[in-house]
Amino acid sequence: MIALISATEEEVSGLLGTLTSKKISTSGNVKFIEGKFLDINIVVSISGVGIRKARNCTNTLIKKYKPNTIISAGFAGALNPKLQLGDVVIPEWVLSLKNSEKIVLGIKLPYIAFKFINDGILTENSFINAKEKKLDLFVRSGADIVDMETWAIADAARKLDTKIISVRAVSDLTNQHLPRMEQIFNKEAKFDLKKAFGYFKSNPGEIFNFLRFKYVNLRKARIRLNSFLFLLIPVLDTIDN
């Protein structure tokens, strides 16, 4: 079985919409969606945002389903100024600056008719919204992109001897300043109207940045990510079998 971990359902909504014979369950505060994609058995797990939730999801997933391969799929912010919105990155390694540790992500893929980038990914436990911070992390880490889950997933998976591949679509650019997302969303990554009203009342100039991010950036990243997953899953199924 192929398993996929995503922080939110929105990121993999295209894939979820194609699944047949769906079965939804919950275990260890993790939502699991089982189904078939082109007659391939897969399970999609929704971890929630952040390192702690990603680690818990990975441990629960592996113990419950014992998958051959885990796909860590979602969005990521660009650290490398050369990256474009919607670029798909398959990192060769993931770095945690806090732990001063790099984990090699070792699945080798055959040819896939879709342009993607191989480089590194940095995992931080907060959303990086300021362009100055992005450039600083690019210099310090050497990673092309940054997310909030991949390192925890990779660390948990290696301890349980499970293969992992990370697939990330760029949702925001290095030179793009974004609002402080923790002031807009709650701990479950749900839009918090009360918090957002207070934040935008104090920072009205951020409203346009937020709307562009939500309705332009995320839409393009979601389309590109799911389009790649449609091609990747059959390839991984062939490798596993």
The 10s digit of each residue's pLDDT in 60-92 is 999 999 998 999 999 999 999 999 999 999 999
pLDDT digits (tens, 9 = 90+) for 139-193: 999 999 999 999 999 999 999 999 999 999 999 999 988 888 888 888 777 888 9
CB atoms within 10 A of CB 38: 11
Largest CA distance in the chain: 56
Residue spans of beta strands (DSSP E) within 52-208: 69-78, 88-89, 93-96, 101-104, 120-123, 145-147, 163-172
**What predicted TM-score, i.e. pTM, was given to this entire model?**
0.92
- Are 51 and 125 in contact by the 8 Å Cβ rule? The answer is yes
Q: Give the span between the Cα atoms of 167 and 89, in whole angstroms.
A: 6
Bridge partners, residue 72, by sequence? 5, 166
Euclidean distance between the first and final Cα of the chain, in Å?
10
101-104 and 93-96 as β-strands: parallel, antiparallel, unpaired?
A: antiparallel
pLDDT digits (tens, 9 = 90+) for 91-101: 999 999 998 99
Q: Give the span between the Cα atoms of 234 and 114, in whole angstroms.
A: 14
Q: Give the span between the Cα atoms of 16 and 1, in whole angstroms.
A: 16
Bridge partners, residue 119, by sequence? none
What domains, with CATH codes, occur in the chain?
A: 2-177+223-240 (3.40.50.1580)
Residue 175 DSSP SS3: coil
Residue 160 DSSP SS3: coil
Between the CA of residue 27 and those of 50, 51, 66, 67, what are the distances in Å? 18, 18, 14, 16
pLDDT at 106 over 80: no
Please tell me what DSSP assigns to residue 109. P
The values of phi and psi at residue 35, to 5°, are 180, -175
